[in-house]
Amino acid sequence: MKRSSKPRNPPSRSDDDGKSSLADKIRILIADDHTTVLAGLASIIGMQPDMLVVAEAANGRQAVDLWRKQRPDVTLLDLRMPMLDGVGVIDEIRKEDTSARIIMLTTYDTDNEIYRAIKAGAKGYLLKDARREELLDCIRKVNRGETCIPQALVEKLAAGMSSETLTGRELGVLTLLARGKSNKEIGANLFISETTVKGHLRNIFTKLNVLSRTEAITVANRRGLVQL
């Protein structure tokens, strides 16, 4: 059963006990379709004296709706969610506020996934196996207007961008190739000849620096160009 996605009512402001007042706290929206992950993140963040979880969403569409209601300081998003993925959420939010501070927290570290998120406007990109202190530090940095991408992911992104980009048609051929389609079947699906398919495959092999269909699929999957 999915965790109920409801805005959290902020506590009344009080400075008597010396703790951070509501106005001082970083207001955070969390979106993840895995109940255990969502609860864990809310618990970790909720224990920080300078942070406040204002809403939790179990899918991308709820994330957008709750963002509109709460206007959080920082939004923490999973990449792949039902109804609307993380990149789609960023696109919708940034249509209304280009300065929105969003962190992508995911298990996917392919250069294509990182590129899509950063291009969409994410200010941070972390993997879910990041240390608790790293996550909290990232939230604080992004709230201050800084970017937060671990060096290892920056290097992976740079390596991917340094290689030649596949065209839309080549990606289409590659996707069908990953589904086990023959050249004839790929041609039929895309309404092109087998000769044209072979030409696209040659270009794909060259751009991915591979020698076989199997190797092309493996490299494409590792880079996030196809999903097996």
* Structure confidence by residue, pLDDT tens digits, 35-89: 999 999 999 999 999 999 999 999 999 999 999 999 999 999 998 899 999 999 9
Whether residues 71 and 181 fall in one domain: no
SS3 at position 7: strand
Whether residues 83 and 115 fall in one domain: yes
Q: What is the pLDDT of residue 160?
A: 56
Whether residues 39 and 84 fall in one domain: yes
Q: What would the two tokens of residue 31 be?
A: 């979106």
- Which residues constitute the domain of residue 36? 22-160
Q: What would the two tokens of residue 108 be?
A: 């996917």
* Higher-pLDDT residue of 108, 176: 176
Whether residues 34 and 147 fall in one domain: yes
98, burial (CB in 10 Å: exposed 0-12, middle 13-18, buried 19+): exposed
Q: What is the pLDDT of residue 17?
A: 47
Contact by Cβ (8 Å): 29, 55: yes
Q: Is 16 a domain residue?
A: no
Whether residues 56 and 156 fall in one domain: yes
What is the distance between the alpha carbons of residues 67 and 132, in angstroms, rounded to a whole number? Answer: 24
Question: Of the residues 143, 160, 177, which one is the last residue of a structural domain?
Answer: 160
* Residue that has been written with the tokens 């959080």 in this structure: 72
Whether residues 149 and 190 fall in one domain: no
| pLDDT above 90 as % of the chain | 61
Radius of gyration from C-alpha coordinates of the chain: 21
Mean pLDDT, range 111-138, rounded to an integer: 88
Whether residues 173 and 142 fall in one domain: no
Sheet holding 74-77, edge to edge: 51-57, 26-31, 74-77, 102-106, 124-127
Domain count of the fold of the chain: 2
Nearby residues of 135 by Cβ (< 8 Å), 6 or more positions away: 44, 105, 126
Q: What is the pLDDT of residue 68?
A: 96
Whether residues 87 and 133 fall in one domain: yes
Whether residues 46 and 147 fall in one domain: yes
Whether residues 140 and 176 fall in one domain: no
pLDDT at 212 over 90: no
Beta-carbon count within 10 A of 88 CB: 16
Cα–Cα separations (whole angstroms), residue 52 to 25, 70, 79: 6, 12, 22
Question: Of the residues 137, 160, 183, which one is the last residue of a structural domain?
Answer: 160
Q: What CATH number has the domain bearing residue 217? A: 1.10.10.10
Q: What would the two tokens of residue 197 be?
A: 């398919």
Question: Of the residues 141, 160, 179, which one is the last residue of a structural domain?
Answer: 160
Whether residues 152 and 185 fall in one domain: no
Q: How confident is the model at residue 18 (pLDDT cuts 50, 70, 90)?
A: very low
The residue type of 116 is R
Least-confidence region, from 119-133, 159-173, 179-193, 203-217: 159-173
pLDDT at 4 over 70: no
Full-model pTM = 0.64
Whether residues 71 and 117 fall in one domain: yes
Nearby residues of 74 by Cβ (< 8 Å), 6 or more positions away: 26, 27, 28, 29, 101, 102, 103, 139, 142, 143
Q: What is the pLDDT of residue 123?
A: 92
Q: What is the pLDDT of residue 149?
A: 86
Q: What would the two tokens of residue 158 be?
A: 């740079």
Cα dihedral: 170, 78, 117, 128 (round 10): -100
